[in-house]
Amino acid sequence: MRGRAKASREGPSRGQGAFLAPVLALTLLTSCDEARQPPAAFSFEGLPVAGSIADAQRAGFTNCVSHNIDMRCRKEGVSLKRHGPFSAAVDLQGGGGEGGFDHLILWNPSDQSALVAITTQLRGEGWSECLTPVGDAWKGQAIYQRKGAPIFYSLDLTYWDRRTLKLYPAAPAKIPACQAAPR
């Protein structure tokens, strides 16, 4: 009786471990193989906001770098709402970009306040502004949305290197919870 209790505390036997190791390895390998289907192609003001790698490249986002599990494709000289030029990028899932992208990123490499002109214009056009909680998954973002608009904007307020403005399709499940910005 004592020998049995001791064996169960030590874990599985060598025979069980030899069986479990390949099963675990196969499970992990098959989960790596699950590629997301790219979202449907969606553009706003001539810029790609969601789609496949082919959609990004057709829009001129051809400077692509793979990071094994994802890929970033960039384009320089992009304008939005008559402001710019900005650097722009789409982040695609999968080392070859096969999972597509679901947002567009804009930034100005030398002028951190350049994107503020866009958000000022948005407020002037009736877009609401709200702030996400700092501890939230969206931590420190100003969100701009307008009823019936096909997109929403997210301005990074906690940037370390460069401020970014992101454009997302306005799917209700995607729009983060936030509180009205103080006036």
Q: What is the dihedral of CA 90, 91, 97, 99, to 10 degrees?
A: -110
Q: Strand, helix or coil at 68?
A: coil
What are all long-range contacts of 14-20, with beta carbons under 8 Å and residues at least 24 apart? none
Which tokens go with 175? Answer: 């729009």
- Which domain does 58 fall in, by range? 42-180
Mean pLDDT of 107-123: 92
Co-location of 25 and 56 in the same domain? no
Specify the pLDDT at position 132.
87
Co-location of 80 and 11 in the same domain? no
Taking CA atoms, 77 is separated from 86, 116, 117, in Å, by 5, 17, 17
**Residue 8 — pLDDT band, cuts 50, 70, 90?**
very low
Q: Give yes or no for residue 148 having a pLDDT over 90.
A: yes
Co-location of 14 and 97 in the same domain? no
Co-location of 22 and 47 in the same domain? no
Indicate the average pLDDT of the chain: 83
Burial class, 175, CB count within 10 angstroms (exposed 0-12 / middle 13-18 / buried 19+): middle
In a domain, 37, yes or no: no
Q: Report the number of distinct structural domains present in the chain.
A: 2
Co-location of 17 and 67 in the same domain? no
